[in-house]
Chain A
Amino acid sequence: MSDTEITFAIVEADSEPEALTPGQVFRRRMASHTGFLIGAGLIAVIALVAIFAPLLAPHDPFQQSLSTRMLPPVWSEGGTWDHLLGTDQNGRDYLSRLIYGTRVSITIGLGAATIGLLIGVTLGVLAGYFGGWIDHMVSFLLTAQLALPGLLLAMALVFIIGPSIWVVIGIIGVLHWTYYLVVTRSATQRIRSLDFVAAATASGAGPRQIIWHEVLPNLASQIIVIFTFELGIAILAEASLSFLGVGIQPPTPSWGLMIAEGKQAMFYRPWLVVLPGICLFLLVIGANLMGDGLRDVTTPEGRNG
């Protein structure tokens, strides 16, 4: 999936025009998967908006102005072209705040999904590879973690430790590793019984070498699929925490927090609530469609699931 792999596939295809390389098959499947294309497109656009936020935002997202409070969007009566999507209760340009909001959501999504990945994959590979009492311990840990009310615990911990973006990332990450664990554990058990692992063992490779060189490379595609889904889950978790007042704090533009701030005026100025929700929806559905697509492409038998 990296650039080198794709170039490699093209070079091979040139020398042997008849046969399709796995890389080519993969690319063709991706290109013909509508859901994947929509999802990847959404994610690409939102990522670009996050990267180029300072260039795209028409105003400073933190600049308050009492004279321009709660302006409606341009298509409503009283809207102006200067503030395309209107302004919030502090007179801040809503479009600029929505644009900067992509940064908060994406940072937290990537950070939390990575922490969950490190915990879940480590536990899953260890449990799947060694089995025995390690497997029993990890399975028990999984059962206990699943029983914990995640949102409630996250709220309590963020409140006690003190809300900052790093605390929110850390806590969401630490509470979202079970999906990685379940999948990598059973995949590792399967890979461990395959011939090439036996061959590696016969040629003197230890557990560390087998895990790094034989097991993990074969788990990569499944881990990427879960990472994509967890991205969406972490983004929604941050939005919920911020909405409840125990996540990102004002004046940082977080979509969940913006919905909470707009709630007081939502009957008269519904766009304050509607617009950030649409942004969240597009980002999360993008991640989910991409995940669904990647799963279909990497494991064709898993379709319709």
Chain B
Amino acid sequence: MLRYIAMRGLLAVLVAFTVSLATFFLLNVATDPAQAIAGEDAPPEVVESIRTRYGLDRPLPVRYADWLGGVVTGDFGESYYWHKPVAALVADRADKTITLALSALAVTILIAIPLGALAALNPNSWIDRFALGVAVSAQAVPNFWLGLIVIILFAVTIPIFPVSGDDSWRHYVLPAFVLGASSVPAVMRLTRTGLIEVMSADYIRTARAKGFRGWQLLRRHALRNALLPVISVLAVQLGQKFGGSVITESIFAINGLGRLALESILGADIPTVQMLIFVFAIVFVAMNLLADILNAALDPRIRIG
């Protein structure tokens, strides 16, 4: 078990390193950061002075080594746009995105798992068809559009939740619904297939023969096994919620990391963009690692095999 976790952990570190390398080179080779900071119409001498001031005249590998050295000590450089340490900017705003991502995951779980379970227990019934319809539609709805429609509805027609800002828990209800909705199809389908498979297993037949029925059968025997794969998908989905916060936060005016990402891209603030991509990737990698460990702990076949 420990050996398994150590191997997974090593892989996670390698992935994080590769991602940082790829991001750094992509962002710095595809463009001239000095030109991006100065603006497109800036005279060449201004661009040159910015280049020397920010150390952008040094070779790329040196700049990467410098950046990586800083990252290890928690120093992600200074923002070109806000003129503050990037790490402080991100730390200031992280709590809002974490709140949003976790509440979105809660929405996903509350909708997807009951719906998937109901569909699995009544295959080919109207509820099964309804669940499939929800999954197919949710997959095709553009998330930003769903956000705007929700705003139009709740701002004018049913004004029970605020549609803009991040001051209270009530502000997170609608954004969490919109961000959470995007994960419903995957989680719902997986719950449904997993449960259908489990319900036809021999040990469920045995439990039925012993007199277990309905909710008791589901809770004590079926769900535990059916939800194993769902746990790892949920962890992956939580990791994706951070990347997905870009759209939701900008629509609902939540001052978190997603909005910071959009603002720093439009402000050509490469150190901030770099750190955010790195942080989102780390969160994703960490969530995957967590899922691997959870699965190994719950399912002995994985850690032995």
The chain A residues found within 8 Å of chain B, CB to CB, are 140, 143-144, 146-153, 155-157, 159-161, 232, 236, 239-240, 243-246, 256, 259, 263, 266-267, 270, 273-274, 276-277, 280-281, 284-285, 288-289, 292, 304-305
Question: For window 175-227 of chain B, which residues contact chain A by CB distance below 8 Å?
Answer: 189, 193, 196
The 3 A-B residue pairs with the shortest CB-CB distance, nearest first, are: A149-B243, A285-B140, A277-B145
Which residue from chain B places its CB closest to the CB of A276 in the assembled complex?
B145
> Does B143 make an interface contact (CB < 8 A)?
yes
A263 contacts across to B, CB distance below 8 A: 148
B109 contacts across to A, CB distance below 8 A: none
On whether the beta carbons of B136 and A243 are closer than 8 Å, the reply is no
On whether the beta carbons of B155 and A267 are closer than 8 Å, the reply is yes
A256 contacts across to B, CB distance below 8 A: 142, 144
On whether the beta carbons of A288 and B139 are closer than 8 Å, the reply is yes
**What's the minimum C-beta distance from B113 to chain A, rounded to whole angstroms?**
18
From B140, B156, B261, give the contact of A284 (CB < 8 A): B140
On whether the beta carbons of B26 and A144 are closer than 8 Å, the reply is no
User: Which of B17-25, B43-51, B60-68, B82-90 contacts its partner?
Assistant: B17-25
A236 contacts across to B, CB distance below 8 A: 142-143
B293 contacts across to A, CB distance below 8 A: none
CA gap between A114 and B18 in the complex, in Å: 26
B196 contacts across to A, CB distance below 8 A: 304
From B26, B145, B262, give the contact of A244 (CB < 8 A): B262
CA gap between A304 and B145 in the complex, in Å: 29
Which residue from chain B places its CB closest to the CB of A233 in the assembled complex?
B139
User: Which of B98-106, B275-283, B294-302 contacts its partner?
Assistant: B275-283
The chain B residues found within 8 Å of chain A, CB to CB, are 11, 14-16, 18-19, 22-23, 26-27, 30-31, 36, 123, 136-137, 139-145, 148-149, 151-152, 155-156, 189, 193, 196, 242-244, 246-247, 250, 261-262, 265-266, 268, 273, 276-277, 280-281, 284-285, 288
From B19, B145, B189, B288, give the contact of A148 (CB < 8 A): B19
Which residue from chain B places its CB closest to the CB of A141 in the assembled complex?
B18
B15 contacts across to A, CB distance below 8 A: 140, 143-144, 147
CA gap between A160 and B280 in the complex, in Å: 20
Q: Given contacts A240-B144, A277-B142, is CB(A151)–CB(B277) below 8 Å?
A: no
On whether the beta carbons of B250 and A259 are closer than 8 Å, the reply is no
From A144, A232, A277, give the contact of B22 (CB < 8 A): A144
On whether the beta carbons of A151 and B243 are closer than 8 Å, the reply is yes
B137 contacts across to A, CB distance below 8 A: 281, 285
**What's the minimum C-beta distance from A250 to chain B, rounded to whole angstroms?**
16
On whether the beta carbons of A160 and B36 are closer than 8 Å, the reply is yes
CB pairs A–B below 8 angstroms (9 shown): A147-B16, A149-B277, A232-B139, A240-B247, A256-B144, A263-B148, A273-B152, A274-B149, A285-B137
On whether the beta carbons of A246 and B148 are closer than 8 Å, the reply is no
From A147, A243, A270, give the contact of B284 (CB < 8 A): A147
**What's the minimum C-beta distance from B289 to chain A, rounded to whole angstroms?**
11
On whether the beta carbons of A160 and B193 are closer than 8 Å, the reply is no
From B14, B152, B243, give the contact of A152 (CB < 8 A): B243
A274 contacts across to B, CB distance below 8 A: 149
B19 contacts across to A, CB distance below 8 A: 144, 147-148
CA gap between A146 and B15 in the complex, in Å: 10
**What's the minimum C-beta distance from B14 to chain A, rounded to whole angstroms?**
7
**What's the minimum C-beta distance from B175 to chain A, rounded to whole angstroms?**
16
**What's the minimum C-beta distance from A287 to chain B, rounded to whole angstroms?**
8
